[in-house]
Chains A and B, each alone.
Chain A
Amino acid sequence: MLYIKCPHCGMRSQNEFSYGGDASVKRPELNKEVSDQDWDNFVYNRKSLRGKHWELWQHISGCRQWIKVERDTATHEIFKTLKADEEISL
């Protein structure tokens, strides 16, 4: 069982959360020329790191906020959690 510290609600079990994928992926800017490669990288291509990985989770059975979680994909250790609008420092 993972325990995730929601920045709004505190430490909660994994059962209350739903996964949202890689948080480092950024949508290409609107109103700008976007190449097919940029869209590919946004929609499909993923690094899927082994080790520390910033990812989105939604506290679906709690405050329903999206949050960012830094988790090790090999050990499942969770290092840090941030609110959705806080920037990741990679």
Chain B
Amino acid sequence: MAATAGIDNPAVEELRARLEEHGYLADEGIATAIFLAIELERPLLLEGDAGVGKTEVAKTLTRMLDRPLIRLQCYEGIDVSQAVYEWDYARQLLHLRAAEIRSGDQLPQHAEDELYSERFLVRRPLLQAIDQHSDQPPVLLIDELDRADDEFEAFLLEVLSDYTISVPELGTIRADRPPLVVITSNRTRDLHDALKRRCIYHWVPHPGLEQEIAIVQRRAGVGPELARDIARAVERLRTAGLYKPPGVAESIDWARAVARLGREALDEHTAGVTLGQVVKHREDQEQLHRLGMQSILDDTGTD
């Protein structure tokens, strides 16, 4: 793999090797970014097209560092009650009822005071990640942040600035050691500069050919010839002007599908029947049929 042949810095090279041990093939760029995020205790922001392996970085780090993974999947409209904490209203009510019954109609003061205590607090991912006191802080994956709204992003920026969360009824909760934060974005919109400045940034490109062959071999468990055919064909698909150019995830799925048919290389017929694994958008499939399958395969398998 030419791109990773020699990382001069021994610490970065060691990290790359450990990532590989745990199933992630990193080049020097992403290895350096991960290294710096850990060293400087900064969030790691990974941006890139769908399926290039952003989420997988957090998962791999979890395995590699043997730490818990806390995942916050973002979506439009996500708010504090989903991301940070919420009071368990139903249980609070029950608690009041029970206290009422025990003491006749006069509700004792302490029952009310207890309402906003930790036992009624429902911890959502951000609070879980901050409110922990081990020296092995978790990996906090904030996935697809570009889908959340601005206000949420602004809130997140505050949390990531000092790793504290304030719950008005309980006070301020502070992490002993900051979690290792990995943020991903597909760039459906730009994130705020202020947030980006907090982070170590890496734009995750589609892998180079050799890198992709290695990933497909490893992840799909197929032979080198099929992996090469797939990687080449996918590389072509990425420049075919599709709405949704395939990512590594699609390469892997495709290789698996072809292998299941008992093929060790990609021919036109096999490509045709398994195309749905790699090109999922209907209009993209139509466009490919117009172009003809052969245009994607052309010179695959010629060396």
Q: Do A and B bind each other?
A: no
Where the two chains meet, the residues of A that have a C-beta atom closer than 8 Å to any C-beta of B are none
Where the two chains meet, the residues of B that have a C-beta atom closer than 8 Å to any C-beta of A are none
